[in-house]
Structure 1
Amino acid sequence: MTNLVQKYNIPGPRYTSYPTVPYWNLQTFSGKQWKSTLVDSFKASNDTEGISLYIHLPFCESLCTFCGCHKRITKRHEVENPYITNLLKEWKLYCDLFAAKPRVKELHLGGGTPTFFSPENLTRLINGIFKTATRAEDYEFSFEGHPNNTTKEHLQVLYEVGFRRVSYGVQDYNKKVQLAIHRLQPFENVKNVTQWAREIGYTSVGHDIIFGLPFQTLEDVSQTILKTKELMPDRLAFYSYAHVPWLKGNGQRGYKDSDLPTPTDKRRQYEMGKELLKEVGYSEIGMDHFSLKTDSLYKAMESGSLHRNFMGYTASKTQVMVGLGVSSISDSWNSFAQNVKSLEEYAHLIENNIIPIYRGHILTEEDKIIRRHILNLMCQFKTSWKDGSERFKELDEVKAKLYELEMDGLLLIDSNGIEVTKKGRPFVRNICMAFDLCLHRKAPNTRLFSMTI
């Protein structure tokens, strides 16, 4: 395994989309085309699937240096009201495009720190959304909570407007690691918010754990998982720390590369953590995720309905995902569009009744085929080209790249498709990269992605 880690530890995408953002064709994209594909997809799927809604709440009171998300650091809570007002104006701009009331199947509040916002303001946001939308019968609403500032009132008011799933960022319980990543967070705080959610009635409580953090050891990962066992969250994200210090504003220059575990040690952390989680009673779901068999994510994997998009893994698929707020990405299934990242520019565009996108990509037929293969691999660890519609011009070249992966025992290949082996699951990003025609045709000149291991 050590040799494989050394061989395959290269920069690579996490594949929440295909094409990945650096390979979007900005020349062929326009706001007019984006709106057209969105309206067409909405007409085709709103009555059957419904839509997904992602809302980005970017504010944090302090900077966590492991984080690569788009955020604004401030302790000034007067920013809440105008931002929510703009989110609701943006939602209205989208609703004005649609011929019917949106049926929201999935709604996720991400950040930043959603619980930076007061319970009253979060209630105003959600109630404002549903003045012009309805809930699908099997809807699932979720939010990210910070254990240090999530209150019982946050949990109660969000429960009352339909939320049943919450995930908490745990990362690691070792104080030295927490100091390095600027996230001091006692176990007691995580225990409190986990228990409060269950007492109120949440059906899925998740914890996020990260391996590969500065100063983190095998023992640290083991102890974090054993503490997690005391609380038994319904699902777990067990992420690899993405070291991308060249990205603006993420604070990752606060420690040295030498403070990080080596790629081999990082892989040991993952393998040991994965085995511990299985012993505790969790099943592996796609890449980096684990859940109890009672959770909707496990049931989705078993039924074949597991999906992956810009929100990560979800229990069901919708063709349309609308992203609201700074930096949010929307998906019409035929195109992607991303909002501006500056709060000031976002507010200016909204005030002028302009949907605040600044870049995007219109998917070609080839893009859609490759996207399906990558989604299959990320969600089901297999894909097929038996159906002629799933074949593409460079298939033989892709197969040639897959043969080496097969020789290393990472997948099985036949004339109709491939299946990732148990040994190959930690390398699924590398396997997806064999299908990534954009990456093959134009290798990046600068560092774009985190390491795959």
Structure 2
Amino acid sequence: MSCSLIQKYNVAGPRYTSYPTVPYWDETSFSLLHWKQSLKRAFDESNQSEGISLYIHLPFCESLCTFCGCHKKVTKRHEMEQPYIQAVLKEWDLYCQLLEEKPIIKEIHLGGGTPTFFSVEHLQQLIQGILLKADIADDYEFSFEGHPNNTTREHLQALYDLGFRRVSYGVQDYNQAVQKAIHRIQPFEHVQQVTQWAREIGYTSISHDLVFGLPFQTLADVLNTIDLTKSLMPDRLAFYSYAHVPWIKGNGQRGFKDQDVPKDDVKRTLYEEGKKQLLAHGYHEIGMDHFALSKDGMYQSFQAGTLHRNFMGYTSSKTQVMIGLGVSSISDSWYSFAQNEKNLDAYYACLENNQIPVVKGHVLSTEDLKIRKHILNLMCTFQTSWSDQAMDFVEREQVIQQLAEMQQDGLVQIQKDHIVITQQGKPFVRNICMAFDLHLKRRKPETQIFSMTI
């Protein structure tokens, strides 16, 4: 990839797990009542035809990983587990009362934090409590994030028995100097053990998360990590760019100096060479930063044009409704977004008052919905079209003008009524989506609020 293109397009920009992005939510026109009405409308439209997704945020971690951008609470007090499980089940009960009709669950994802911080018994209590008030779709997919250092065979077996068939392990990098810098000491043998256990038990999709651009990370480190990963052959991989945002995460990303972090063309080389290695090992590129074997459901979804993206990232299970349970979780009805209280005590207080713990959100306008669809198309299929009048929008010509320079640089092909991202343009998909981001155009941030795109 041209270094000049990297220098030109390496700007701060969103990752587009939503549109509008969270900093551009209009909280003044949002209320809990708006969210309830929006959710009920979407649920009534889609529950019987496609079911719903649940994202359950389990925020506790025993130690702080300095690369992490997730909302978490660092503690070794496992007595916090039971009150939290009870609170999440109370929140689910409030939603079930609102929805009235029995939900059909198509997807459950346990994220964190560290879901495997919780005991087997408490995870069983959580999932059994959720399923007690719901039906399960025929084509359901249940998944969870497992920490290789504390995921036990008992965890894997218990969740498998409850219907989980996909597990994702955070690997990051196997170099000890890098692991020390990010405070995530995790030997290859631990990852090997939990991957083998999952296979023996019967999990059909095992994923590893790798990160490039970490402090002190070299090209040799990335290639070695990928080669070790290949020896375990997970079904899918996320190969994420480390988001260096110490101004947001405070001391959490200050265990090293800015100059210790690979940047610009050096960082991009880590991705490009890593990608070549992954492709040589039989993985296929899926959307942005994801790879999968041909047998995996994500690859098949990408091939079929049904890949979806939401606050959980890429998923092969599209639903219009995604309910986020737990502290800081974000919900999505397609027509609006809603985020829960981030403070644990405030989250508990809402539930004690029988109130769904939503603290902020955004109601999407007609324009928002059109742009959201275009960005979703670009992120999932690398193309979008306005041949359907319903997908046209007032500022389309200005967007096309902005994309003209990207076409000259070989990143996109602009046709009469659609655009296609080229092979060379795929690494710049965030920049291309930014051309459609009308909120970002109208109110550029005065300070840096997003990570760099490259």
Question: Is 1:66–1:250's contact at 8 Å kept on the other side of the alignment?
Answer: no
Alpha-carbon offset, residue 250 of structure 1: 6.2
Q: Are 2:357 and 1:331 aligned?
A: no
Residue matched to 1:48 = 49
Alpha-carbon offset, residue 435 of structure 1: 0.1
Question: Is 2:211–2:239's contact at 8 Å kept on the other side of the alignment?
Answer: yes
Q: Which amino acid aligns with 1:429?
A: R
Q: Which amino acid aligns with 1:213?
A: L
Residue matched to 2:372 = 371
Secondary structure at the aligned position of 2:126 is classed as helix
Question: Is 1:68–1:250's contact at 8 Å kept on the other side of the alignment?
Answer: no
TM-score (norm 1): 0.99
Q: Which amino acid aligns with 1:257?
A: D
Residue matched to 1:259 = 260
- Distance, in Å, in 1 between the alignment partners of 2:30 and 2:361 is 6
Alpha-carbon offset, residue 254 of structure 1: 1.4
Tell which deviates more after alignment, 232-241 or 92-101.
92-101
What does the per-residue CA deviation read over 1:305-337, in whole Å, with 9 as the maximum and x for residues that have no partner? 100000000002101000000100000110000
Alpha-carbon offset, residue 79 of structure 1: 0.2
Residue matched to 2:172 = 171
TM-score (norm 2): 0.99
Question: Is 1:144–1:166's contact at 8 Å kept on the other side of the alignment?
Answer: yes
Q: Are 2:244 and 1:243 aligned?
A: yes
Question: Is 2:288–2:429's contact at 8 Å kept on the other side of the alignment?
Answer: yes
Question: Is 2:141–2:317's contact at 8 Å kept on the other side of the alignment?
Answer: no
* Percentage of identical aligned residues: 66
- Distance, in Å, in 1 between the alignment partners of 2:87 and 2:53 is 19
Residue matched to 1:305 = 306
Question: Is 2:30–2:360's contact at 8 Å kept on the other side of the alignment?
Answer: yes
**CA distance 1:353–1:250, shift in 2 (3 Å):** farther
Q: Which amino acid aligns with 2:15?
A: R
Question: Is 1:67–1:250's contact at 8 Å kept on the other side of the alignment?
Answer: no
**Runs of at least 5 residues in structure 1 that lack an aligned partner in the other structure:** none
Secondary structure at the aligned position of 1:96 is classed as helix
**Runs of at least 5 residues in structure 2 that lack an aligned partner in the other structure:** none
Alpha-carbon offset, residue 134 of structure 1: 1.1
- Distance, in Å, in 1 between the alignment partners of 2:47 and 2:22 is 26
Secondary structure at the aligned position of 1:444 is classed as coil
Residue matched to 1:220 = 221
Question: Is 2:60–2:112's contact at 8 Å kept on the other side of the alignment?
Answer: yes
Residue matched to 2:390 = 389
What does the per-residue CA deviation read over 1:397-443, in whole Å, with 9 as the maximum and x for residues that have no partner? 00011001111000100111100000000000000000000000000
Q: Say what the alpha-carbon RMSD is for the aligned residues.
A: 0.6
Question: Is 1:237–1:290's contact at 8 Å kept on the other side of the alignment?
Answer: yes
- Distance, in Å, in 2 between the alignment partners of 1:350 and 1:229 is 45
Residue matched to 1:407 = 408
Q: Which amino acid aligns with 1:228?
A: T
- Distance, in Å, in 1 between the alignment partners of 2:32 and 2:251 is 29
Residue matched to 1:133 = 134
Question: Is 2:69–2:249's contact at 8 Å kept on the other side of the alignment?
Answer: no
Alpha-carbon offset, residue 249 of structure 1: 5.1
- Distance, in Å, in 2 between the alignment partners of 1:222 and 1:369 is 40
Question: Is 1:65–1:254's contact at 8 Å kept on the other side of the alignment?
Answer: yes
Alpha-carbon offset, residue 387 of structure 1: 1.0
Write the mapping of 1:6-405 to structure 2, written as runs, cut at 5 A: 6-248=7-249, 251-405=252-406
- Distance, in Å, in 2 between the alignment partners of 1:422 and 1:267 is 15
Secondary structure at the aligned position of 1:190 is classed as helix
Alpha-carbon offset, residue 447 of structure 1: 1.2
